[in-house]
Amino acid sequence: MSSNINRKKVMKKGIIRFIDIFKENKMGVLGFYIIVFFLLVAFVGPLIYSYNPQEFAKGGLIAPPTKGFPLGTDDMGRSILGALIYGAKVSLMIGIFATLISVFIGTFIGIVSGFTGGKFDSVLMRITDGFMVLPKLPLIMILAALLGSSTRNIIIVLGLTGWTGTARLVRSQTLSVKQRPFIERAVSVGAGKGYIMFRHILPNVFPLVFSNTILVAAGAILTETTLSFLGLGNPLMPSWGQILRGAFTSGAVSIGAWWYFVPAGLCVILLVLGFALLGYSFDEILNPKLRRH
């Protein structure tokens, strides 16, 4: 009984120490707040400001900001502010879920390939290379077109194409961890391959995966925005990319209706930046060699 308390205490101390170190990294803290801001916008926003993408022509069409519509309206008369708030949730959800799928696949392939080695590793890596080399956007477009542009399919498509970077990263880290004596020790006390990969290699690869995940998320959000911009998104669940698409196709850009595309663009940039800052800061913290004293 007392043992569990001790273990939990030690782990808590570890987390507190990590948070303390994290707090000192200004870059990371900024990124963290940006993400928190958008999470609030995405989940608390709709409770404050209601928006329904199906309701058209509430205000004028592509009308500049007025009291009722703080950021003006789009080409169907819907509030742009509402679209941004609603879109935050869509962009974030797609980005995060797609990332989770990518990272899971990438980590799994990276560890199994790196640890098993030999021909198996070569084959898997050639497949990975293949995926990496394929031009992603056309591939995603084709898949999206084939499978249909539901939100779920977008997530799957992004997930299935975004794992290669993670796989390579995790594999090379696995190769290096594999050489360390404690792996040989695990074998000598009777550990099987699966156990070693899961219990010994994964925890040592995890810090890398963690910081990499956040960077992958940044990329996923950006890719989703691009896809939506190209018209492959789900029109019933408009994301920021779709707002930008609307701005583009309706000619808002040429008439100078800045309220239509500038806020959406800024949101994308800010959120991606937030993830990038957080990801790089974790990289610095978890990889002490990068830390400046």
Contact positions vs another protein (CB under 8 A):
3, 6-7, 9-10, 180-182, 184-191, 195, 200, 203-204, 293
- Measure the N-to-C terminal CA separation of the chain; round to a whole number of Å: 40
What share of residues in the chain are helix, strand, coil (percent, to 5)? 75, 0, 25
- Which pairs count as long-range contacts for 17-22, CB under 8 Å and 24+ apart, including other chains? 18/285, 21/285, 22/281, 22/285
C-beta closer to another protein: residue 153 or 204: 204
Q: Which two tokens stand for residue 257?
A: 């209706």
Distance CA 145, CA 232 (A): 7
Task: Please provide residue 140's backbone torsions phi and psi, each rounded to the nearest 5 degrees.
Answer: -65, -40
Distance CA 114, CA 178 (A): 8
Rounded to a whole number of angstroms, the minimum distance from the CB of residue 180 to another protein is 5
C-beta closer to another protein: residue 126 or 185: 185
C-beta closer to another protein: residue 19 or 189: 189
Task: Please provide residue 250's backbone torsions phi and psi, each rounded to the nearest 5 degrees.
Answer: -85, 0
C-beta closer to another protein: residue 70 or 207: 207
C-beta closer to another protein: residue 6 or 54: 6
Rounded to a whole number of angstroms, the minimum distance from the CB of residue 8 to another protein is 9
Q: Which two tokens stand for residue 145?
A: 């077109």
C-beta closer to another protein: residue 10 or 47: 10
Q: Which two tokens stand for residue 64?
A: 């500049």
Rounded to a whole number of angstroms, the minimum distance from the CB of residue 175 to another protein is 15
CB burial class (10 A; 0-12, 13-18, 19+) of residue 236? Answer: exposed
Rounded to a whole number of angstroms, the minimum distance from the CB of residue 5 to another protein is 10
Q: Which two tokens stand for residue 67?
A: 């009291």
Rounded to a whole number of angstroms, the minimum distance from the CB of residue 195 to another protein is 7
Distance CA 241, CA 95 (A): 12
Rounded to a whole number of angstroms, the minimum distance from the CB of residue 19 to another protein is 16
